[in-house]
């Protein structure tokens, strides 16, 4: 294939490198003198910060995601601290039977009831509950009237699901799981895709032709259909589902990386490295790779969006994470199987929508920061 | 060039074999297949074998029922587990060459007949959705590019972002909840292709009924590709607008309309051509998720149910059709490339 036809096949990528060098010099010329020495990444980060919508979305998502790791301290059925008969207990971290605090219910203590009891008793005992005192997997059948799912009420702002579990708590825990899942899928698929793509692009020739055929087989498999087939046979857990999704996701990255490697390989600095006797490994990892990461980094937030959307879709179809994992798609499945349970469709959808929207904003800003192309307006 | 495309078509064969071998092996090797499910059912309650022979009824104090060797053999034969796996694949492939996809376990009909009956339904929704998407997104993308940075561009970008953040099936689900007659408004039917009493309606009523059932699923299809297609068009047009030939066209005094429609537009269509070929499988095979949400009896729902029911002949049949569509779609994309941009030479 001639160089020309390759350019037409990938009109986006082909102009990237050419215009980038032009714009880079422009920026250096315009900015202060000390900026000349700052690294390209720092410049991009600076540009990213000026794109308010994306930057703030990034901060918000970062904070929410960090908070979601200490969710057991914020949204939980277990009390943070119990002071009972002069002793302190920390139920978040360990299990206490109900008898320990003088409750006559089987199994674990119910700290919400305990809280009320202590308040009414007028004793020195007290309970410190988390901000939102319901857990994602706790069955609230005993406390609520009527049959589940319960519509939203003051205590349960998003209602409960068909097993009387609090929807709001499940949504929050689902946020952590969805985002972790998507980030992990993105990282793994990028790693595999980059490795395969750089090998194909760097070595070229027979490796490339053979590899391309194999990739074509993978790429042609109907993605969702095959994943459903695999997950219907083996009940997937978190790691397995990451693996299954990655069976397909790495392919998209190889195209980009392969193209970049083909282009970069022909440049002078690579010839220089070769003539200095650098090993293939060094050339791939230290010389070419840093120069070819731009298109895939600016694509990463959108991969995360795709990861979350895929997880929700698989959970909706019943081929996702095993129960009782809190998941948005599973709630939507319940809601769509009975149209009257509107809160089981609407709230997970809002949660997904807001998360995806902010990540799309981030992605848009990253792309603008990384893409040096300046679009001219018509006239 | 003709030679190139002939070679591409021939390359379908090894790719196709690769795909089918892969999925065939997954289905056949992994436990929990139809044979085991049937055996479990029989052991659980006792029943009729596919051959028609009645097995030992309830009884054994041990709780398990011994299935006679001959019956087991017969069942293995019915589900096609009587040969080693490579011979099984060879048999399946041989049948495929005579257009025999086998017989569905669930529907007890030839697989091809089952699939054939679902085709028109998927095509109906897929084609309308596809046409509408292109009719809306391409002009919108062009308009956004021409007025890049204006209020119009900004306002429509908000819609595009939202479209990106909500998958089509989820949007459809939301619409069903809001407008399907649950807790809110009762405007649209709960899904399906037509009403049950469709045959008894008068013609205008039939048209109305069909229209009624079409709106929500088609809007879901629209949302599915709205954002990507609009942005793709916009970026492509913008890139062309900054080219030198546009300056030349303006310099020689052409009107803005002629520059955009006559010069820029055709060049901007090139990246869109890829989508056309890939749309083939969406149009013909439908979207699994949207068909499940709206309970539309098309190919997508058929495939989904066949997996749930371990109806392997149908599962494989749908795989065959969708991967063939995908492979030809890829080639069609490239042919479109060559038609739209005569400079492209495939070798």
Q: How many helices (H) and strands (E) does chain B have?
A: 14, 0
On whether any CB of chain B is under 8 Å from the CB of A266, the answer is no
Query: Which contacts qualify for B340-346: CB closer than 8 Å, 24 or more apart?
Result: B340/B266, B340/B269, B340/B270, B340/B273, B341/A8, B341/B267, B341/B270, B343/A4, B343/A8, B344/A5, B344/A8, B344/A9, B345/A2, B345/A4, B345/A5, B345/B1, B346/A1, B346/A5, B346/B1, B346/B4, B346/B5
The tens place of each residue's pLDDT in chain A, 379 residues long, gives 333 333 333 333 333 333 333 444 444 444 444 555 567 778 888 888 888 888 999 999 999 999 999 888 888 888 888 888 878 888 888 888 877 787 777 777 788 878 888 888 777 788 888 888 888 887 777 777 777 788 888 878 888 888 888 888 899 999 999 999 999 999 999 999 999 988 888 887 788 888 887 887 787 777 788 888 888 777 788 888 888 888 888 888 888 888 888 888 888 888 898 898 888 888 888 888 887 887 788 888 989 999 999 999 999 988 888 888 888 999 888 888 887 888 888 899 999 999 999 999 998 888 888 866 555 444 4
Q: Where do the domains of chain B lie?
A: 2-104, 119-297
Name the token pair of A356: 């995806």
Q: How many CB atoms lie within 10 A of CB B164?
A: 24
Name the token pair of B228: 């990507």
On whether any CB of chain B is under 8 Å from the CB of A154, the answer is no
Q: Which domains does chain A have, with CATH numbers?
A: 77-128 (no CATH), 167-369 (1.10.3720.10)
As for the ipTM of the complex, it is: 0.81
Name the CATH code of domain B119-297 (choices 1.10.3720.10, 3.40.50.720, 2.40.10.10, 3.10.105.10): 1.10.3720.10
For residue A82, the surrounding DSSP H or E stretch is: strand A81-84
Chain B nearest-CA distance from A375, in A, is: 7
The per-residue pLDDT for range A192-225, each reduced to its tens digit, is 999 998 888 888 778 888 888 788 778 777 778 8
Burial B165-189 (b: 16+ CB within 10 A, else e): bbbbbbbbbbbbbbbbbbeeeeebb
**Under a CB-based contact definition with an 8 Å cutoff, are residues A180 and A168 in contact?**
no
Chain B residues with beta carbon closer than 8 angstroms to that of A12: 235, 271
Name the token pair of A353: 């929508």
Measured between alpha carbons, how far is residue B103 from residues B41, B111, B113 in Å? 21, 5, 9
B165 and A346: CB-CB below 8 Å?
no
B23 and A1: CB-CB below 8 Å?
no
Using CB atoms, pick whichever of A4, A225, A378 lies closest to residue B319.
A225
The per-residue pLDDT for range A13-35, each reduced to its tens digit, is 333 333 333 444 444 444 444 55
Burial class (CB in 10 A: 0-12, 13-18, 19+), B242: middle
Omega within 30 of 0 (cis) for the link into A351: no
Q: Report, in this order, helix, strand and coil percent for chain B, each rounded to 5.
A: 70, 0, 25
B344 and A5: CB-CB below 8 Å?
yes
A357 and B148: CB-CB below 8 Å?
no
* Local structure of A88: helix, strand or coil: strand
């Amino acid at each position: 294939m001639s160089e020309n036809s390759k350019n037409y096949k990938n009109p986006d990528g082909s102009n990237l490198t050419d215009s980038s060098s032009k714009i880079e010099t422009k920026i250096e010329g315009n900015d202060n003198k000390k900026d000349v020495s700052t690294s390209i990444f720092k410049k991009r980060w600076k540009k990213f910060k000026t794109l308010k919508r994306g930057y703030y979305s990034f901060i918000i998502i970062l904070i929410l995601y960090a908070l979601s790791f200490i969710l057991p301290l914020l949204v939980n059925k277990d009390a943070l601290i119990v002071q009972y008969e002069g002793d302190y207990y920390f139920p978040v971290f360990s299990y206490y039977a109900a008898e320990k605090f003088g409750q006559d219910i089987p199994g674990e203590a119910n700290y919400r009831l305990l809280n009320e009891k202590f308040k009414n008793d007028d004793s020195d005992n007290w309970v410190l509950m988390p901000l939102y005192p319901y857990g994602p997997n706790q069955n609230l059948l005993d406390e609520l009237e009527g049959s589940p799912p319960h519509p939203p009420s003051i205590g349960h702002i998003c209602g409960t699901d068909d097993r009387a579990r609090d929807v709001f708590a499940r949504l929050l825990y689902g946020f952590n799981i969805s985002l972790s899942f998507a980030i992990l899928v993105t990282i793994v698929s990028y790693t595999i895709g980059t490795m395969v793509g750089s090998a194909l692009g760097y070595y070229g020739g027979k490796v490339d032709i053979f590899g391309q055929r194999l990739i074509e087989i993978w790429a042609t498999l109907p993605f969702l259909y095959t994943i459903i087939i695999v997950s219907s046979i083996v009940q997937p857990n978190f790691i397995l589902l990451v693996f299954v999704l990655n069976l397909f996701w790495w392919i998209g990255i190889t195209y980009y990386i392969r193209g970049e490697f083909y282009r970069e390989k022909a440049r002078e600095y690579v010839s220089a490295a070769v003539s200095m006797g650098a090993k293939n490994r060094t050339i791939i990892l230290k010389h070419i790779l840093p120069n070819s990461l731009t298109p895939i980094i600016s694509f990463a937030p959108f991969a995360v969006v795709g990861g979350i959307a895929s997880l929700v879709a698989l959970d909706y179809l019943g081929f996702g994470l095993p129960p009782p994992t809190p998941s948005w798609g599973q709630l939507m499945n319940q809601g769509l199987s009975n149209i009257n349970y509107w809160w089981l469709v609407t709230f997970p959808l809002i949660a997904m929508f807001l998360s995806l929207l902010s990540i799309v904003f981030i992605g848009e800003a990253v792309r603008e920061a990384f893409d040096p192309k300046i679009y001219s307006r018509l006239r | 060039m003709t030679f190139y495309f002939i070679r591409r078509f021939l390359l379908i064969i090894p790719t196709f074999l690769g795909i089918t071998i892969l999925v065939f092996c997954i289905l056949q090797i992994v436990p929990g297949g139809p044979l085991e499910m049937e055996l479990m059912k029989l052991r659980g309650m006792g029943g009729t074998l596919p051959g028609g022979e009645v097995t030992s009824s309830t009884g054994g104090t041990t709780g398990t029922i011994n299935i006679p060797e001959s019956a087991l053999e017969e069942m293995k034969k019915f589900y096609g587990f009587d040969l080693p796996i490579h011979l099984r694949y060879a048999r399946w492939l041989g049948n495929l060459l005579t257009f025999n996809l086998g017989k569905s376990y669930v529907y007890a009909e030839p697989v091809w007949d089952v699939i054939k009956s679902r085709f028109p339904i998927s095509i109906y929704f897929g084609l309308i959705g596809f046409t509408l998407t292109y009719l809306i997104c391409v002009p919108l993308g062009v308009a956004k590019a021409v007025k890049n940075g204006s209020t119009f561009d900004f306002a429509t970008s908000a819609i595009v972002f939202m479209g990106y953040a909500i998958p089509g099936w989820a949007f459809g689900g939301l619409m069903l909840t809001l407008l399907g007659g649950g807790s809110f408004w009762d405007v649209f039917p709960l899904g399906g292709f037509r009403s049950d009493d469709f045959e008894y309606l008068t013609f205008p009523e039939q048209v109305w009924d069909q229209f009624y059932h079409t709106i929500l699923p088609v809007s879901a299809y629209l949302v599915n590709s709205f954002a990507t297609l609009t942005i793709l068009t916009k970026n492509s047009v913008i890139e062309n607008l900054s080219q030198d030939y546009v300056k030349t066209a303006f310099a020689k005094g052409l009107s803005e309309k002629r520059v955009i429609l006559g010069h820029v537009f055709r060049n901007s269509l090139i990246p869109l051509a890829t989508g056309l070929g890939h749309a083939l499988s969406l149009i013909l095979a439908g979207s699994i998720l949207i068909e499940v949400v709206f309970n539309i009896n098309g190919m997508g729902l058929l495939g989904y149910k066949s997996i749930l029911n371990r109806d392997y002949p149908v599962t494989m049949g749908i795989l065959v059709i969708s991967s063939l569509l995908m492979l030809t779609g890829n080639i069609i994309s490239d042919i479109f490339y060559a038609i739209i941009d005569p400079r492209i030479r495939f070798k």
